[in-house]
Structure 1
């Protein structure tokens, strides 16, 4: 009986007192943005995810926090719209394929990230950098990502970096906790 009352109490809290949060998820194509959001929403990981064309929006409910997540395409033609969808959000999540062996992957990700965050319209918005695909061999760890993406050079905002695997669900609890902490500000 106590379980029923707890469920009703939780439902009422979410209904009337949930904290809403806007998050923009960006990164180069094939970094795993859509796969991560699908897994966070309680769905299954799929290897053959269709690339996002333009943008999509997914709502996630985690405890008493409702996350509205904008998933933006990572192809070059969509990168110009990243800044517009990052304005006024509670957090920016930048995802990198930490196992991509191509020599241009990390330098291109660094260029796009730094180009985006130099916009004064985004000052103060917390940034979470996720090195996805940590389950694959030769994936970069957090320390390497921080150095190669020059995250220590970023100012005017809080910056955090985690190594994750959407496929294996590695460190996803830390990602959710980080986002929830930004909603409580």
Structure 2
């Protein structure tokens, strides 16, 4: 009987209370955007992930919430597309490789350039310092300082250290995103 109740409950949730949201993941190349999306969607982490050419999209189901996630390439030629894919989304996720400290200033410049677009005003920003499993990395506090996140105004900004490889802190990521789900 409990199994039947669960099926009816799930059907009711999907039919009447289902929530869907769009999220765009951006960041420099090799930050781990595709790996994170693969893991969130229930797949496995792979070391030899192929760089995203253009974009990819996956749907991630969490309870009655569907996250439609856009993963936009981080190579310089694709960064001009970031703003277009961030328009009208429920949240922007900016992913940084916290073990590659030489690229942090470039990541900061790209993030702040992206947030200057008026079309993206008020959209919540989630900054993820990926590769927290590596020994030589920035802490979350160092990342906040290096990216000058405290200067960002007019939107909610949150920052977590994560590891797509070890699936560290991914529940916090999903919880943050689900706060912004709309019907």
Structure 1 length as normaliser, TM-score?
0.95
1:22 maps to 22
1:88 maps to 88
Is 1:68 paired with 2:68? yes
Is 1:43 paired with 2:50? no
Residue ranges of structure 1 left out of the alignment (5+ in a row): none
**1:88-134 CA distance string (max 9 Å, x none):** 00000000000115x2x000000000000011110000000000000
Matched length: 183
Aligned-pair CA distance for 1:184:
5.6
Aligned-pair CA distance for 1:5:
1.6
Q: Which moved more, 1:58-67 or 1:125-134?
A: 58-67
Following TM superposition, where does structure 1 have runs of at least 4 consecutive aligned residues deviating by more than 2 angstroms? Answer: none
2:152 maps to 154
Aligned-pair CA distance for 1:14:
1.8
1:116 maps to 114
Residue ranges of structure 2 left out of the alignment (5+ in a row): none
CA RMSD of aligned residues (A): 1.2
